[in-house]
Amino acid sequence: MNKSTVQFGKGMAFLSPWLIGFVVFTLVPLGLSFYYSFCKYDLLTPPKYVGLQNYTGLMHDATFWQATGNTFYYGMMSLPACLLVSLGMAMLLNVNVPGQAAWRAIIFMPSLVPVVASAMVWMWLLNAKLGLVNAALALVHIDGPSWLADPKWALPSLAMMSIWGVGNAVVIYLAGLQDVPRELYEAAELDGAGPMRRMWNVTLPMLSPVIFFNLIMGIIGTLKNFDLPYIMSVTAGLGPAHSAYLLSVDVYDNAFVYLRMGYASAMSWVLLVIVLALTGVAFWSSKKWVHHDEK
């Protein structure tokens, strides 16, 4: 046995815990999910192959289409808001001010709060009668809506909650801002560029790879968002008449409430195709607005 074979064996031995975990907990479930999407399977009896019946059933499922529409509507509100708020906060936190480290910790802290605790906090804040949000609106003589119980405001309420956890994106933006060369700002100042021009012509182009990364992560996270909508729907009756029913919650209900695991698997693969399609569009568009620093 030569030396390279021994080194390869040692390398595989070190990798084996990850490889075993990947195969057992990712690759095998992925393959089974794809197989079950062509089966009628209720978790209690053996799966029965039904071909494309699950996929054709989705085309005539009004609840599936409503959940898909709600998911896109939620994404169109949540994703831009989170990107803009996190970028704005990162720019503010990048300025040298007293207590800078404390402000950064305060902004990041909400992203560490468990989802259940966050849901309880938002249920209190958005309570129609006793919530602080409506109390604050009442100070300026505005009658706040029944945020979680009103079909018109349920999805906007979810989008507003999503801004609560932008701390991770803020940290990534801060790292990108620290990497922008100071000499570029100095050259822009010598050319007479003001703060807005420096932000538009220096900061954003240099930060575009980071913005692109957060955009991709935001697309994936928004479309598969499950925990907060599910908790709010169970505890607060979020969005009557399925007005805030997201696709991820529909997958869960079909799989574990109605025991239609095959149908839920087909729905999951449709969701995966949607995620891949939107991610592909983002990669295609990145050629026009993402600027890579070539050194």
One-letter amino acid of 197: R
Flag whether 41 is in a domain: no
Do residues 85 and 5 both lie within one domain?
no
Among candidates 90, 104, 79, 83, which has minimal Cα distance to 203?
Answer: 90
Do residues 13 and 131 both lie within one domain?
no
Do residues 21 and 151 both lie within one domain?
no
Do residues 25 and 67 both lie within one domain?
no
State residue 293's pLDDT score. Answer: 65
Do residues 227 and 168 both lie within one domain?
yes
State residue 179's pLDDT score. Answer: 87
Q: What is the pLDDT of residues 212-260, one digit of tens each?
A: 999 999 999 999 999 888 888 877 777 777 888 999 999 999 999 999 9
CATH number, domain with residue 275: 1.10.3720.10
Mean pLDDT computed over 42-48: 91
Do residues 153 and 16 both lie within one domain?
no
CA torsion 7-8-9-12 (nearest 10°) is: 120
The total of structural domains in the chain comes to: 2
Structural domain that includes position 11: 1-29
Flag whether 36 is in a domain: no
For the entire predicted model, the pTM comes to: 0.88
Q: What are phi and psi of 80, to 5 degrees?
A: -60, -40
Flag whether 88 is in a domain: yes
CB-neighbour burial class of residue 13 (10 A; exposed 0-12, middle 13-18, buried 19+): exposed
Flag whether 295 is in a domain: no
